[in-house]
Amino acid sequence: MKSKRLGIWLALIVEVVLLTILTSSFGGGNFFESTFLNWSNISQVIRALSFIAIMAVGQSLVIITAGIDLSVGSILGLSGVVTAVLMNNGFDVASSAILGLVVGSLCGLANGLLITETKLPPFIATLGMMSIARGLAFALTGGETIRNLPAEFLTLGQGTILSIPIPIIIMAIFAFVVGYFLKATKWGRYVYAIGGNEEASHFSGVNVARMKILVYTLCGFAAGIAGVLFTARFGVGQSTAGLGYELDVIAAAVIGGISLSGGRGTILGAIIGSLLMGILRNGLVLLNVSAYWQQVAIGLVILLAVILDRKTKR
Partner 1 sequence: MIPLLQMQNIRKQYPGVLALSDVSFDLRGGEVHCLVGENGAGKSTLMKVLSGAIKKDGGSILIDRKEVDFHSPADSQRVGIGMIYQEFKLVPELTVAENILLGNEPTKGKSPFVDYPKMHEISRNALAQLGEEIPTTAVVSSLSVAQRQIVEIAKAISKKVRILAMDEPSAALTENELKNLFTVIRRLKAEDVGIIYISHRLEEIFEIGDRLTVLRDGKFIHSCNVAESDRRSLVRWMVGRELEQEYPKVELQRGDEILRVESINSKLLDNINLTVHRGEIVGLAGLVGAGRSELARIIFSADPKEGGSIYLNRKEIHPHSPREAIDLGIGLLTEDRNKYGLIMQMNVRENISLSNLRDVVKGLFINRTKENSVADKFTNELRIKTPSIDQEVENLSGGNRQKVVLARWLFTKSKLLIFDEPTVGIDVGVKYEIYNLINQLAKDGIGVIVISSDLPELLGISDRIAVMWEGKLTGILSRAEATQEKVMTLATGGTVEVSNV
Return residues touching partner 1 (CB under 8 A): 1-2, 181, 184-186, 189, 192-193, 196-197, 199-207, 263-264
Residue 205: CB partners within 8 Å, gap ≥ 6? none
In the complex, least distance from residue 69 CB atom to partner 1, rounded to whole angstroms = 21
How is 76-91 classified by DSSP, letter by letter? Answer: HHHHHHHHHHHHHTT-
Q: Which is nearer to partner 1, 130 or 267 (CB)?
A: 267
Q: Which is nearer to partner 1, 121 or 143 (CB)?
A: 121
Residue 183 CB, nearest approach to partner 1 (Å): 9
Decide if 88 contacts 254 (C-beta within 8 A): no
Q: Which amino acid is at 90?
A: G
What is the nearest approach in angstroms of partner 1 to the Cβ of residue 122? 19
Nearest distance from C-beta of residue 280 to partner 1, angstroms = 30
Q: Least distance in Å: CB of 306 to partner 1?
A: 18
Could you tell me the smallest distance in angstroms from the CB atom of residue 191 to partner 1?
A: 11
Q: How far is CA 20 from CA 34, 109, 218, 276, in A?
A: 6, 43, 37, 14
Q: How far apart are CA 130 and CA 253, in angstroms?
A: 19
Contact by Cβ (8 Å): 87, 100: no
Cβ proximity of 22 and 284 under 8 Å = no
Min CB(121)–partner 1 separation in Å: 16
Nearer to partner 1, 72 or 206 (CB): 206
Closest to partner 1 by CB, 5 vs 134, is 5
Rounded Cα–Cα distance for residues 236 and 282 (Å): 23
Q: Closest CB to partner 1 among 147 and 210?
A: 210
* Distance from the first to the final alpha carbon of the chain: 12
How many other C-beta atoms are found inside a 10 Å radius of the C-beta of residue 171?
27
- Are the CB atoms for 79 and 227 separated by under 8 Å? yes
Checking DSSP bridges between strand 164-165 and strand 160-161, what pairing results, if any?
Answer: antiparallel
Contact indicator for 250, 67 with CB cutoff of 8 Å: no
In the complex with partner 1, which residue's Cβ is closer, 196 or 273?
Answer: 196
Q: Shortest distance, CB of residue 186 to partner 1, whole angstroms?
A: 4
Question: In the complex with partner 1, which residue's Cβ is closer, 106 or 313?
Answer: 313
Nearer to partner 1, 140 or 215 (CB): 215
Distances (CA, A) of 203 to 187, 199, 215: 16, 6, 20
